[in-house]
Structure 1
Amino acid sequence: MNTLHSVAEAQKKSTVSITVSLRGYEFDTASNKWELDRNNSINLRFLDEFSDEISGSIRDTLIYFAETCSSKHTKNICENLKLYLRHSQEKSFTEFGFVLLKDFLGEKEEYKLSVIRGFLRQMKYLGNADSIHEGVFELINSWKLSGNEKGLPVLSFDPHIGPFSDLEFEAISNVAANSYAQKRLTTERFLTILLFRATGRRPEQLASLKIKDFSYSKKHSSNTMYVVEVPRIKQRKGKFRQSFRPFGLAGYLAQVTEKHIEEQTRKLEGDLGRSITVEELGELPLFLSNTNIKEMQKVPSKDFKELCETELFHMTSASMASRLVSAVNSLGVVSERTGERLHVNAYRFRYTLGTRAAREGAGKITIATLLDQSDAQNAWVYIANPAEYAIEISRIMNQPLSRYASAFAGKVVGDEQEANTHLDGAARIPCREVDSDVGSCGTSSFCQDYAPIACYTCPKFMPWENAPHHLVLKFLMEERERLKKTSATMPVITANDRSILAVIQVITLCEERRQR
């Protein structure tokens, strides 16, 4: 069982190397294994690859981040420090090392340098950077680094990782309801699907729910409604269940939730061999696993409520996501876009909620609030890809035999350097409409076709993995919409549909390469 700060007061250790993460988990700063919360632990063995002169300073700075920042951010810092070691081949932070890493990452991934730069700035502020030459700071501070690319699954309406189509979304709901009515789906699984579908919340948020978060209330409406106070995450220096945002639920969802709470409580009381008090019930996680219950059985009754107030008995976000996938997979829903069993992940429900809101005319602020985002900077993707584009893309994908059409016949490559291994000095393919290069040409023959639109259906085309193909797709969809409004004939409107299909296929292949 994990030892939380709130419980460890009676078991204080004399070792001065023991400290506490932001989420209340004790860890030994001298150890190479730090458990920072129920979802995240880090291994610091990679620090041995740094020189003795600086490894201790890096560890000291990581302690600061573990104590004051989210566990996920601390883990992300470690991953990027490993990236620096791997591609710089340096044992300290040097100008040469950073130049090598920046060259390797390229513009699309240089946002990772921002993480390391922020870490080094904090090292300096804490007085831990005496061994780092000032020229390193002058170099990294002079760089204007691009942010990470947002919204690719939404913009592409990807059939595997993007928003669900209307048919797919409704099929999940209808088949789940029928399966539940016929007792082929448990209340717990049915509720899991319903909550992800209704709220679009992240797995960590639903995994952090407690029974006391649900109530009938008039606080947010003149009428009594069933409300869940959803814990917020991704808040700066946010602790476990520190802030909440209310979300109203439909009546049928209220009934399923109450039934699940009743069933789960009855099972837990049987496993514990005693009744659960009202105070204990409110602090229980909404979703328990057999592992949770086994841990609960080891806890003395006098400590039970105190431990329930922590995150100790909540399942991990990965387990919550896995439970959703398992529940939907059991339905056997087939996608009309791929002809295969529906590919499911938690974020597809989130993307669908935002996309459907955009279709109803919601603006960025409304969508950001609906998706529980702290600001509207990432909500643009739903507005930039209007719902009618998604519908049109869906129609293109649903044309007879379109899912079997090999519209893209070329070869995706990592970058220009890889393209040159296939053809030395391969010409770059620009897309002036989006002011960017998107790939390389695999032939030296003279060509008069309109680049890059014709290139996507050419077998000689080598699109780059991290090129902005989603912007090419957006341009093509905007052009298609413009032609529709000018009363152009259908053959003119659909002239680029094969190219659109090819771009979608390229986007999918690029995403698959990045996930390997």
Structure 2
Amino acid sequence: MISVTRSSENFRPFRSGNSINDLAGLPVDVSGWSWRLNSVGEQSTLNWRRLRFLSDHILSATADFIAKLIKSRSPDNVRNTFDTLVYLERSPAIIASSENAGRIGPEFFSELRDYFGPRGAWRLHYLRHWYRCCVDLGCPHFSEEVAFELDQKVIGGNQKGHAVLSLDPGEGPLNDLEITALLNALRAAGQSNTITLAELAALWLCIAFGSNPLQFALLREDDVSVIEEEGSRFIHVNVPRVKKRTEAPRREFRLRKLNQEIGQVVLDLMDENRRRREARGWWDSDHALPLFVRGSPRSDEDGPLSEYARHLYASELTAMVRNAVDRLEVISPRTGRPLEVTPRRLRYTYATRLVREGVSKRELADLLDHTDLQNVQVYFDIKSDIVESLDKAMALALGPVAQAFLGKIVRAEPEAVRGDDPSSRVKTLDKTSDQVVSLGTCGQHSFCGFLAPVACYTCAQFQPWMDGPHDVILNDLLAKRDRKLAAGQDGRMVAIYDSTILAIGDVISRIEAARAGEAA
């Protein structure tokens, strides 16, 4: 067993060898009061002083238990187990056993069950495993009879999916209007440089893949490939898998495809990374080339995980996404407050939208990289086909909130870019008068191939005129939406024009505000 003493702070307490190899075969120093785990996703150090309320014998057995876990379980599992053991201090039975050198009875389990409550009961699985292993290690403070009694107790699993099932406006999936507002802001940011290229790429990838932040933090430039076939270009990404209990990170991958818009952002980020490497000269052969690069190396850049020295931690990528959306200043049409976005919320959004599109449980589990179909059941339990109500009044109110219009409003045709070119006029048929009317000017000098005028309102090149009959298009799209809803079509088909409806509402509201300002 690992010998423990606390007679002196200068004494090295864990003395049966200086290091052990973890599940990935990497060394872990176990010679002191702090054990640093080889976790690529976060800084993970076990501080044994947090367990100094335990007696020497109980602490010794616990150290052996954790050492055994390090050899056989992932760093995340070890970290979660250790953090749960810290809660033993909340048990009077544990404190009494440590002070009196007595045997630990089942009372501690009941005490901590009450402390954790229903939402934290899942931690009891770690405590039961700890007790059983300490019995097997022969520690006299642990009883085979108590271990058997604990084995018979029903604990239950971690409560999953509360934010998804409740459609929580702060933590659950984004609804259609919120994702529309976010996409509009992202496209505008790509032209205005409101956020960095890395932030833009991280947000787009979270939306496109629904992966968790660790998977994106582990991405490297080598994982991105460009394939040219018959004049077409395809961008593929090998996304590292992290849900599997593999021996080390980046052992398994899943090939995912990007559309041209997002793929180009990723390629632009790789070009920017290359220019920075050349300018700063930070890269060497010991360090891999991550897609999302740290400003400075990790503190353990010369340790067992030296190749990850320039990778972000998962928490840092989460903060990047959150902070980027904060700077985009997207307002939630649902709450009227700034939209709070994390990779987890975008993962929920990705899954719920796939369910709306009719994927099976197995397909969804595969796309989310789950092995257990139970983990995706929650997305099928919610009413993901709910269609948000949307009428003209709401479109005018929510359009500015959703920041749906990306172009520039002009007073009249002569003020527009290409205003002197009659072919640049964007026209429509007014069905009430059966007359062709002009709405604005297209500032693009090449043919875009999109359907005018509907697609124009979500295009940054469109310049609507203040005196244009924009309500004609708005009324027509709202009528189409109502007909689809009345016909019982699924939510995806009903909401197909919602982005344009909000953009037109934004245009009309801005024009009305400008006229009101002039009148004042």
TM range (shorter): 0.5 to 0.7
Tell me the distance in 1 between the aligned counterparts of 2:75 and 2:380.
32
Q: SS state of the match for residue 169, structure 2?
A: coil
Alpha carbons 1:321, 1:346 under 8 Å: kept: yes
Tell me the distance in 2 between the aligned counterparts of 1:383 and 1:23.
36
Alpha carbons 2:17, 2:30 under 8 Å: kept: no
Q: CA deviation at 1:18?
A: 2.0
Alpha carbons 1:27, 1:35 under 8 Å: kept: yes
Alpha carbons 1:321, 1:345 under 8 Å: kept: yes
Tell me the distance in 2 between the aligned counterparts of 1:383 and 1:218.
38
Tell me the distance in 1 between the aligned counterparts of 2:215 and 2:253.
10
Tell me the distance in 2 between the aligned counterparts of 1:149 and 1:340.
28
What is aligned with 1:386? 383
What is aligned with 1:355? 352
With 312-321 and 228-237 compared, the bigger mean Cα shift is at: 228-237
Alpha carbons 2:22, 2:28 under 8 Å: kept: yes
Q: CA deviation at 1:400?
A: 13
What is aligned with 2:275? 266
Q: SS state of the match for residue 19, structure 1?
A: strand
Tell me the distance in 1 between the aligned counterparts of 2:383 and 2:155.
29
Alpha carbons 1:231, 1:245 under 8 Å: kept: yes
What is aligned with 1:139? 149
Q: SS state of the match for residue 375, structure 2?
A: coil
* 1:77 and 2:81 matched: yes
Q: 1:288 aligns with which of 260, 283, 293?
A: 293
Q: CA deviation at 1:120?
A: 2.7
Residue-by-residue CA offset, 1:84-115 (whole Å, 9 max, x unaligned):
22134414532122222223334443221112
Gaps of 5+ in 2: 1-14, 98-103, 398-484, 489-520
Q: 1:118 aligns with which of 110, 123, 129?
A: 129
What is aligned with 1:209? 219
What is aligned with 2:265? 256
The 3 A distance-change label for structure 1 pair 53 and 152 is same
With 285-294 and 139-148 compared, the bigger mean Cα shift is at: 285-294
Identity %: 28
Name the larger-Rg structure.
2
Tell me the distance in 2 between the aligned counterparts of 1:218 and 1:373.
31
What residue identity is the alignment partner of 1:382? Y
What is aligned with 1:236? 245
Residue-by-residue CA offset, 1:346-376 (whole Å, 9 max, x unaligned):
1000000010011112121111111111221
What residue identity is the alignment partner of 1:383? F
What is aligned with 1:158? 168
Tell me the distance in 2 between the aligned counterparts of 1:294 and 1:73.
22
The 3 A distance-change label for structure 1 pair 294 and 268 is farther
Q: 1:368 aligns with which of 345, 359, 365?
A: 365
What is aligned with 2:480? none
Count of matched residue pairs: 372
Tell me the distance in 2 between the aligned counterparts of 1:95 and 1:341.
48
Alpha carbons 1:108, 1:146 under 8 Å: kept: no
Alpha carbons 1:120, 1:129 under 8 Å: kept: no
Q: CA deviation at 1:295?
A: 9.1
The 3 A distance-change label for structure 1 pair 190 and 331 is same
The 3 A distance-change label for structure 1 pair 372 and 393 is farther
What residue identity is the alignment partner of 1:62? I
Q: CA deviation at 1:224?
A: 6.5
What is aligned with 1:327? 324
Q: SS state of the match for residue 216, structure 1?
A: strand
What is aligned with 2:61? 57
What is aligned with 2:113? 102
Tell me the distance in 2 between the aligned counterparts of 1:355 and 1:129.
49
The 3 A distance-change label for structure 1 pair 132 and 15 is closer
What is aligned with 1:407? none
The 3 A distance-change label for structure 1 pair 258 and 15 is farther
* 1:168 and 2:178 matched: yes
Alpha carbons 1:107, 1:146 under 8 Å: kept: no
Tell me the distance in 2 between the aligned counterparts of 1:45 and 1:269.
44
* 1:67 and 2:64 matched: no
What is aligned with 1:493? none
What is aligned with 1:44? 48
Q: CA deviation at 1:25?
A: 5.5
What is aligned with 2:36? 35
Tell me the distance in 2 between the aligned counterparts of 1:234 and 1:372.
7
The 3 A distance-change label for structure 1 pair 103 and 263 is closer
* 1:315 and 2:312 matched: yes
Alpha carbons 1:325, 1:345 under 8 Å: kept: yes
Alpha carbons 1:365, 1:375 under 8 Å: kept: no
Q: CA deviation at 1:262?
A: 0.9
What is aligned with 1:17? 18
Q: What TM-score, normalized to structure 2?
A: 0.65
Q: What TM-score, normalized to structure 1?
A: 0.65
Counterparts of residues 364-443 of structure 1 (less than 5 Å): 364-389=361-386, 391=387
Alpha carbons 2:29, 2:36 under 8 Å: kept: no
What is aligned with 1:499? none
Tell me the distance in 2 between the aligned counterparts of 1:141 and 1:399.
58
Q: CA deviation at 1:198?
A: 0.7
What residue identity is the alignment partner of 1:288? V
Tell me the distance in 2 between the aligned counterparts of 1:290 and 1:311.
13
Tell me the distance in 2 between the aligned counterparts of 1:294 and 1:135.
46
